[in-house]
Chain A
């Protein structure tokens, strides 16, 4: 889209917004519209020359340039022909509606009625736009009871006691957690919170929460309990992570889509060798046991031997009966 088209697009929302927000500070306008103050001032300077056909000076859109210059606030008049913004095009409507559908799956039941009715009204208001139904978000909702309790804890600011399954070690843990947020990432629900056991911020996958108990204790402030930014990746490799090399049979190349890795090349049997960083060898061991011989541990040798002896021990149980 050209610069002028983008500017028109912005001005078509800017004019109706300013008409109903007399005297709004230009800095606030800039924040809302995601541009600089300078840009808003430039927009106003253009609008000053716009108006009804054959309008003479004084009939154009009137921006109070004195108020803008001296107080940094915006007053606009003579723009009665632009009372409402331009309708949403299909691309915008679909982006917004899909985002809200994702929100719906993350928020608990407490907020869902508001999200549902907002979605229904938006669909009605944008009904003419093509493609508003472009996308659908499917989420495992098997953990709805856990989800509800955590949403409730967040809404009321209460500490929770979690029984949490550490899948890689096949182990149940008990911990008190001050919840910070519910997060959906990579299509799964997590709760982020201050974990008293780890004395740090942790993410817990909801389908691994065996039970939640809402405590009467309100959540506390924690030094260093900043919310993490998960924009790039959900889990940072820990300092004590170790490296492993695994080989993938052509049937197991899908692994590359799920695991951060470096490709090392193809071995003599035609298996692709990749290097992975693992914070948890127990996880990798279970991953390889699951893969029916389509994944082989190359390094470390110790881990390869562990996998082999685990498989041997497991097979022994079938020879008895």
Chain B
């Protein structure tokens, strides 16, 4: 029965927590009442199960050979400094903001983990208020099926393998040391080390096909410096501007382009000439083309050619 199991687990935990020295297994059997009545094999099984149950909730049980009344045997203990949440002293303004964390995750599993974390802080005397800061609503979706297994792998530093589909549709099995997840424009990306390609790579979680499987044990690799991981993640950002383009835009139109313009001069009847900084010709060309007859690329030539080519292809596809 569950209450009996909980009671036994709790008493085991307390015994291991308060013991000044490693507690010999035979002694544990004497002091935890339900263990006492068991036959040797049944006790061994029960004790192993109970230790495992405590480990699953994040409790570290230390084990060491100890001398006891029964000779040499295993002794166990839980170190208080390993067990307890370290002191945390939050100002009221800091405590007020962390309650909002409870509303952020749209994934049930991560939302629950956050709630457990907040309850622990509450129990440590932090006045967590889930209703504070009602004027902000950050939402983190994690709808990609690969998200949770990869999250777990990142947290435990476990290598994983999965099938990955590139933008061109080609699929290949990859073996990755997952370093960090990055959220950008509502999509999750994985920064990691590709063992077969012997290089760091960025993966889009929505392109992971099927199951994510472990490809090794926990703590099998080290994550490089923060700055290095960040540099890979920043390849997601739009290319920084390197030059200025000249675009002719109909007066009152092309507002998105005008917003970034560094200069704006009126040209012939009903048109303006604007200068727009850009880092990627195809990206700016796509944007200019989207304005149709309201925006015309003037310079440089490769931008002009690109817009013209793109519009021709639109016309061709429409036939």
Contact = CB atoms under 8 A, between A and B. Distances in A.
Interface in A254-303: 254, 257, 285-297
A38 interface: no
B290 A289 contact: yes
A13 interface: yes
B101 A96 contact: yes
B310 interface: yes
A286 B126 CA distance: 51
A15 B181 CA distance: 35
A118 B94 contact: yes
B155 A90 contact: yes
Nearest to A286: B290
A93 B58 CA distance: 12
B198 interface: no
Interface string B11-26: 1011101100000000
Contact of B187 (A91, A187, A253): A187
Interface stretch (B62-70, B106-114, B208-216): B106-114
Given A47-B10, A103-B136, A317 B314 contact: no
Chain A binding surface SS class: helix
Interface residues of A, number: 127
Interface in B210-244: 219, 223, 226, 230, 233-234, 236-237
A286 B187 CA distance: 23
Contact of A53 (B31, B123, B219, B314): B31
Contact of B313 (A96, A186, A286, A292): A292
Nearest to A137: B183
A304 B118 CA distance: 54
Contact of B105 (A95, A154, A290): A95
Contacts of B100: 99, 103
A181 B117 contact: no
Nearest to B152: A91
Contact of B14 (A52, A86, A127, A292): A52
B41 interface: no
B138 to A, nearest CB: 4
Contacts of B261: none
A245 to B, nearest CB: 14
Contact of A93 (B117, B154, B312, B315): B117
A7 B2 contact: yes
A91 B155 contact: yes
A315 B57 CA distance: 65
Contacts of B137: 106, 181-184, 192, 230
A85 B186 contact: no
B14 A51 contact: yes
Given A81-B18, A85-B123, A92-B114, A181 B134 contact: yes
15 contacts: A32-B119, A49-B11, A51-B14, A86-B57, A86-B83, A88-B117, A95-B110, A118-B95, A136-B180, A138-B236, A170-B254, A183-B138, A184-B137, A186-B141, A187-B186
Given A181-B136, A182-B136, A314-B293, 11 more contacts: A5-B56, A11-B10, A85-B123, A87-B86, A89-B57, A96-B114, A103-B97, A107-B133, A114-B96, A121-B90, A287-B290
Interface of B: 2-3, 5-7, 9-11, 13-15, 17-18, 31-32, 53-54, 56-59, 82-91, 93-98, 100-102, 104-106, 110-111, 113-125, 133-141, 151-152, 154-157, 167-169, 180-187, 206, 219, 223, 226, 230, 233-234, 236-237, 248, 253-256, 259, 286-287, 289-294, 296, 304, 307-319
